[in-house]
Amino acid sequence: MLKFGVVVLGVTDRPRAEEFWCAALGYRVRDDGFAGWARVLEPPGGSGTVIALQLSETLPEDYPRLHLDLHVADGAEQEAEADRLVSLGATRVDWDRFPDDPDFIVLADTEGNRFCIVDLGHEHRLPLQDS
């Protein structure tokens, strides 16, 4: 049975990306990589989504088909986290595809990879449907 293993981010400056994501998420660099093809970042306590930073020569996409969503409890936390991540080197993206009353903020990491901070307490979110 397949299971989700790792999120791989393409980067051009691996030390800069390591510093950003470790500070952003409280991760640490793991000593053993994946046979040298990537640097591995693991979450506190070793449980959760692992991030691998792989050197890449391609530019990040302006409208990526895949991105990370980082969750927060409310709008105040969302703004505080966005400000904190910008202080660590992220940039706010002037996103031209926001819906009316968005529950997310679009940022780019130090390498230009897009990600969102999603307010899970946003009052206009659609409730999860029972199947």
Are 50 and 16 in a shared domain?
Answer: yes
Structure tokens at 6: 């790792």
Domain-embedded: residue 126: no
pLDDT tens-digit map of 100-113: 889 999 999 999 99
pLDDT at 131 over 50: no
Q: How far apart are the two ends of the chain, measured CA to CA in Å?
A: 23
pLDDT at 99 over 90: no
Domain-embedded: residue 127: no
Are 115 and 73 in a shared domain?
Answer: yes
pLDDT tens-digit map of 36-64: 778 899 999 888 899 999 999 999 998 99
Please say whether the beta carbons of 69 and 115 come within 8 A. yes
Are 47 and 73 in a shared domain?
Answer: no
pTM for the model = 0.86
**Whole domain around residue 75: which residue ranges?**
68-119
CATH of the domain at 74: 3.30.720
Give the whole-angstrom CA distance, residue 90 versus residue 114.
Answer: 10
CATH of the domain at 45: 3.30.720.120
